[in-house]
Chain A
Amino acid sequence: MTLLTTNNPAARPGEAAGAVHGASYRDPAGFVFTRGGVLYRQVNLAGREDYDLLMSSGLYQTLANAGDMVTHEEVDRSISPDGRAYQVLQPARVRFVSYPYEWSFSQLKDAALLTLRLQKTAMERGMSLKDATPYNVVFENGRPVLIDTLSFERLKPGTPWVAYRQFCQLFLAPLALMSRVDIRLGSLLRAHLDGVPLDLASALLPLRTRLTPGLLIHVHLHGASERRAARKPPTIGAAPPKPQVGSNAVRALVDSLERTVRSLQWTPAGTVWADYYEGTNYTDVAFEQKRQIVDAAIERLAPATVWDLGANDGTFSRLASRRGITTLAFDIDPAAVEKNYRQVVKTQDRHLVPLLLDLTNPSTACGWAHRERDSLVDRGPADLALALALVHHLAIAHNVPLGRIAEHFATLARALVIEFVPKSDSQVQRMLATREDVFTEYRQEAFEQAFSAWFRIEDAIPVRDSQRTVYVMRRHAG
């Protein structure tokens, strides 16, 4: 399992000689490294046969033509960090690497269906996926794409699918839990980087899921078999002969997984933010003017990347993505992210990626030596962040001081379009209705002072028919 990351084009220390990515250590067939800010994938001699088969069997071309797999070019082998490359590949640039614990239900489901489609196509070409993990998938051009070129190996007749358990733990179990128990259980992927243990998933799923054949087989019975094996005391002796299985059985297994994944549904409704825009205190005039202010700011700042923090369903994010700007729409609410992703699919938006993010507890660097999965800050900064109707939630609902908000935003983006909502606004009044107002600092002058420490305020535009102000700011140099 390896991972591409090309988010930060700046060369990091040690990159001159080629720095191996922190997530790229499991697969003896090769690894990913960066050099001069460019990302490469080395094919080791151990991966030679499978790589050659990938290219000669037509599988690579088939998947690349279908848009299911990232394309690459073979480049000069002399840039190998260890001088032992069979090939060095330069994959097409991926704009942002996100992780499955940041995806909505349908994003994880689409990534699961992609993985099964890859396996079926590979089997037709005499190959098989040797790993089935969402960490090998990114959302690029509005759809999931495999980024690990070395995920394929020669199909060994009579051998079960080696990635079956991984698929069940990393795709099927979380999808079943999100669909049949609670959408918030997707966050288990953040605690279990190798996937949700099947015995845990089985225990959490309701009894009636045993009546769904796919879940009965691939989660409940599968989990029970593992539990049973784990209870057996280890004994020393010759390994038992590996069981054999026909290719039709493997094909039937993959078909069954596909049917099960397709049967899992989740409808976004009932969460706090899902219908947020219907419940705001904006008049149509105010909303339209705010839209024009943000649009004009995006045009003037001309960013290459935009992060919309608290994007809800992506209404304002689309002002950037429709200009062809790489846009990430973050929101804390799984329903809002789901709605946004469905809209991305429907409109075939190639530049917008909706992602789940709790700004008060954002994705951290995790995995081996804290280097396998990057934090949100590691993947930035963006050229521009939108923070519309957000600061009062952080400052009042979460008690984050304005100075800390400003400081953190300065690590996330080089420029800001940010809205200040005063205490007199009905939304803030509603937040304060059930709690003591201890927020003496929460004033417009204090807001400007806090952000001036990190940003130069270029514009402060009052929103008509409201008490709100939209600011345009650029981060101080240095």
Chain B
Amino acid sequence: MGKAQAGWTFVALLVLMSTWAAPAEAYVDPGSASYAFQVIAGMALGAMFLVRTYWSRLVAGIRSLVSRDAAHNE
């Protein structure tokens, strides 16, 4: 994972952590906290996976368009 992606992870998690509030009126043991944390981390990592997937598809699409145009121009 590159530095840019690491940065994205950090920012995404900070945003998510800041919006996450554990239920104030409930008993929460450390295991439950881990459980809730996993939901957030899983969502963030899942979202990053989707971004990575679509980003590479987008880049591939643009590259094929550019190479097609280049072939037309020759």
A contact set with B: CB distance below 8 Å: 160-162, 164-165, 168, 211-213, 216-218, 221-222, 225-226, 228-230, 232, 234-240, 242-246, 248-253, 255-256, 259
Tell which of B29, B36, B38 touches A253, judged by Cβ atoms closer than 8 Å: B38
Contact with A along B32-46 (1 / 0, CB 8 A): 111111110111111
How far is A240 from B46 in the complex, measured between Cα atoms in Å? 24
Give complex CA distance A253, B39 in Å: 9
In contact, A160 and B38 (Cβ under 8 angstroms): yes
Verify A226–B48 contact, CB threshold 8 A.
no
B59 / chain A contacts, CB cutoff of 8 Å: none
When the two chains form the complex, which single residue of A161, A168, A217, A229 contacts B45, counting CB atoms closer than 8 Å? Answer: A217
Known: A225-B17, A229-B33. 5 other contacts (CB 8 A): A162-B35, A168-B34, A234-B27, A235-B26, A248-B46
Task: Determine the main DSSP class of B at the interface with A.
Answer: helix
Q: How many pairs, one residue from A and one from B, have CB atoms within 8 Å of each other in the complex? A: 111
Instruction: Contact check, A228 vs B9: say whether CB atoms are below 8 A apart.
Output: no
Interface centre among A217, A238, A244 (most CB of B within 10 A): A217
- Contacting residues, chain A, for B32 (C-beta < 8 A): 229
Q: Which residue of A164, A236, A243 contacts B27 across the interface (Cβ within 8 Å)?
A: A236
Q: Do A228 and B22 form a contact, CB below 8 Å, given A165-B34, A213-B9, A221-B13?
A: yes
Residues of A within 8 A of B13 (CB): 216-217, 221
In the complex, what's the smallest C-beta–C-beta distance from A427 to chain B, in angstroms?
48
Chain B contacts with A in 15-58, Cβ cutoff 8 A: 17, 22-39, 41-46, 48-49
Contacts of A232 in B (CB 8 A): 22, 24, 28
Q: Which of A221, A229, A235 has the most CB of B within 10 A?
A: A229
Interface residue range, chain B: 20 to 34
The smallest beta-carbon distance between A200 and chain B, in angstroms, is 12
Report A312 CB to chain B, min CB distance, Å. 38
Chain A residues near B43: list those with CB within 8 A: 245-246, 249
* A contact face: mostly helix, strand, loop, or mixed: helix
Taking the complex as formed, is B70 at the interface, i.e. its CB lies under 8 A from any CB of chain A? Answer: no
Q: Is B5 an interface residue (CB 8 A)?
A: yes
Task: State in angstroms the CA–CA spacing of A225 and B37 once bound together.
Answer: 7
**Which of B13, B33, B37, B46 neighbours the largest number of chain A CB atoms within 10 Å of its CB?**
B37
Chain B residues near A235: list those with CB within 8 A.
Answer: 24-27
Q: With A213-B1, A213-B10 in contact, do A246 and B46 touch (Cβ < 8 Å)?
A: yes
Q: How far is the CB of A276 from the nearest CB of chain B, in Å?
A: 39
**B45 touching A256, Cβ below 8 Å:** yes
Say if the beta carbon of B6 comes within 8 Å of chain A. Answer: yes
B5/A164 in contact, CB under 8 A: no
Q: Are B26 and A243 in contact (CB under 8 A)?
A: no
Instruction: Please name all residues of chain B whose beta carbon is closer than 8 Å to the beta carbon of A221 when the two chains form the complex.
Output: 13, 17, 37, 41
CB pair B27 A239 closer than 8 Å: yes
B30 and A229 contacting across the interface, CB-CB below 8 Å: yes
Most buried by B among A212, A240, A244: A240
Bound-state CA distance A246–B39 (Å) is 9
Return the contact of A222 from the options B10, B23, B29, B34 (Cβ within 8 A).
B34
Tell me the bound Cα distance from A211 to B17 in angstroms: 17
Contact B30 A249 (CB under 8 A): no
Name the CB-closest residue of B to A243: B39
Contact between B42 and A249 (Cβ–Cβ < 8 Å)?
yes
C-alpha gap A453/B26 in the complex (Å)? 66
